[in-house]
Structure 1
């Protein structure tokens, strides 16, 4: 795929361990906050069912999506798959949905970073901690993908270890009666209303595709990293949710941005050394996801600009660090606007809407490319095809329709922005840049 005429290509340097670090790092903040808002609309039982549905979806999706990422290791990810399957309009729709997904995840994570910092020191402004976080992590991502990936790997390992320590500390207080308490008002409507917050447990794992052009030996590295990461995340998500629910009155956790430190304060006391320590190092999980999502949105902006769907300057790559610097800065600016204008749960819903639309288009692309290009080299093939991708497609549509039904205003905003962008795309037209999607040789 052509680059900006004055820009060098991206470097292929990432290993399986680094890619696992990026994949888990993209998602792991979902274990630290955000998911607990599902309790406020569905209770523990309803949210547990929603999480089970979403977990099945993500397992089916990752097995399906890995085929696309390994066969088409292009930084555009869903844009590249949909363009190859459905042409310019399909590529545009996938690119728009992916941008919403990855541009709006960082402001939600930044808000949680600020909330954790305020929990530690009430004198700190949560909003300005969030703003400083943007400046710092956009700067770190400027330094090059190898350094960014090594940073992600270290922080992600620390975040995983921290979650395991959290589970060990909370496990002695676990009581099943706490999990099922205050669930007399269970309704199936709550299950569907809780789906976006269950999706937050796994949201952004697909971002590995955004660095596919920077992966060493993609035919082996990408499948290994995806399968290792989804296994890690399922264990962490289920363990975190159950232990938080069983530690005490879960209603105290249902509407805050720092549920894990609050759980420890319920078990050990607010002034416990472990509670304070966890809140301090709990920032690692949020930092890992903030950093990796910043990496993801910058690559999507870069690819769309490289192919004429966004202004050309966004495709410029820094000569020294080989990073798309204008894409990083511009995406950061958009995230800051979202941070100042919306609450965390609304930002999460919008990000999830973008993700579900992108998942649907990607799964349709997989099915279409199996028919259109049966001879395309596929180092990893989806097991139990076509049952698994069809199951993932069915569940993605259920989730998407449920989110639209329970969030009409936000869904209207998403559709309106998408429609306006598509209209501008149709009227102005794509610049005359030949699109060539990268595939394995």
Structure 2
């Protein structure tokens, strides 16, 4: 047992079998990492982003997307540098642990934990919206659809890393093919001025439809652009999960930066195309999409009619399924890393004896996510809960992500300043200014997110989450830490050699 009086934590000695029960398998190369990053985000190009039309109109959505793209460029370049230098499966937690000590690592990991437990819940609400629209299911039975998708895709993630990455690659490629097919289909059916610009601000400031279109690019002004930032986040949210695969990457120092950069480039192109084309399709429009749970399906139906709605709906589901599957992967690795080091209960990090996947972490994380959904569903009433649950959960996920981004950017700045000696196989071309831009944009996004009435419903749950976890760590967890690879590296001040399990 060793104590770190300065940090107020205690490390316990564990036997050799501890890490043997928590082993992972190396499999992923650049292509697999690219698919993991793009697949995690791609659902945001199928649903969720479109709610921003109600706060910013088409121009507000476009400019907000550009601002958020700058934030993610600063973030992804920063984490590309840190992930190559600190190739730990802990990702955000391990970066902050090295830069800011155990408490900094814990709170950063906790912010990311909120994001990765809640984001699959957001995605499965959109999946359910599509399923109900396709097959005409009664929304009152939505919880049954949630459970079915969780069970199926947790199982796919548990039964082998190779299977999980192959499923990710397949769904990511199919999702991108669906988007490209939609873009090609939409171009001949565009009427940008009539449909994309069919929103105006009413007397009370609420969006109203312009029957003939031709409205302003910015019907809600600059404040509308800024209010749209939280929704634009959905076009890129979760690309930062890639470093969680560091210990399952064949060569993380070489491949991780490449996977991250290729992923963000793919997403920027796709985000621009979907924001331009989806609302421009004749018969769709920004006003309708501002409240739609299935915007891509609406676009397909406007182009091809209702005759093939089942086929089109199933096709449009692929992007949501890709993200659901890949974020469940990230959820498992994120909980696993915090548990392996003792920040969370250690039993959560045990891996499957045959498949070497963190099945306990994935199952427990999924049960928590489902539990939050069901509590909100029944607390608000099935009818009201069904209408608002996606927005409440989205606010929870985005708030956790913003705090995590701020912490990671701060970690990057501190590591550049205080740990210049750490070997860096990749260096961010944006450097410290890129990290500063990430912090500024994330803070502004949080400021405008607080003004969303659904934010307060979600943030209460986040505060409860933080309170319970903080009490656990303060009273118990900080005295039960384990010298996992990232902890040893951090304690050495970055002067030790990283030891992979």
Tell me the TM-score normalized by structure 1.
0.95
Alignment of 1:8-157 (within 5 A): 8-123=22-137, 125-157=141-173
Greater Rg over alpha carbons, structure: 2
Measure how far apart 1:22 and its partner are: 0.6
Closer/same/farther in 2, CA of residues 119 and 409 from structure 1, 3 Å limit? closer
Task: Quote the Cα distance in structure 2 between the aligned partners of 1:105 and 1:302.
Answer: 17
Closer/same/farther in 2, CA of residues 416 and 190 from structure 1, 3 Å limit? farther
Task: Quote the Cα distance in structure 1 between the aligned partners of 2:136 and 2:357.
Answer: 37
Instruction: Return the match for 2:279 from 245, 255, 258.
Output: 245
Question: Which has the higher mean CA deviation after the structures are superposed, 43-52 or 254-263?
Answer: 43-52
2:430 is equivalent to residue 384 of structure 1 = yes
Instruction: Return the match for 1:170 from 172, 176, 186.
Output: 186
Measure how far apart 1:253 and its partner are: 1.8
- Matched with 2:265 is 231
SS of equivalent residue, structure 1 residue 317? coil
Measure how far apart 1:276 and its partner are: 3.8
Gap regions ≥5 residues in structure 2: 1-10, 202-218, 377-388, 490-496
Measure how far apart 1:146 and its partner are: 1.7
Given that 1:45 and 1:183 are in contact with CA atoms closer than 8 Å, whether structure 2 keeps it comes out as no
Measure how far apart 1:383 and its partner are: 0.6
Given that 1:179 and 1:245 are in contact with CA atoms closer than 8 Å, whether structure 2 keeps it comes out as yes
Number of aligned residues: 439
Given that 2:90 and 2:244 are in contact with CA atoms closer than 8 Å, whether structure 1 keeps it comes out as yes
Closer/same/farther in 2, CA of residues 435 and 320 from structure 1, 3 Å limit? closer
Instruction: Return the match for 1:158 from 167, 171, 174.
Output: 174
Instruction: Return the match for 2:440 from 371, 381, 394.
Output: 394
Q: What RMSD in Å do the two structures reach over aligned CA positions?
A: 2.0
Measure how far apart 1:420 and its partner are: 4.1
- Matched with 2:291 is 255
SS of equivalent residue, structure 1 residue 198? helix
Task: Quote the Cα distance in structure 2 between the aligned partners of 1:328 and 1:420.
Answer: 20
- Matched with 1:205 is 239
2:466 is equivalent to residue 418 of structure 1 = yes
Tell me the TM-score normalized by structure 2.
0.84
- Matched with 2:332 is 298
Measure how far apart 1:294 and its partner are: 0.4
- Matched with 1:428 is 476
Task: Quote the Cα distance in structure 1 between the aligned partners of 2:366 and 2:457.
Answer: 25
- Matched with 1:180 is 197
SS of equivalent residue, structure 2 residue 429? coil
Task: Quote the Cα distance in structure 1 between the aligned partners of 2:38 and 2:279.
Answer: 23
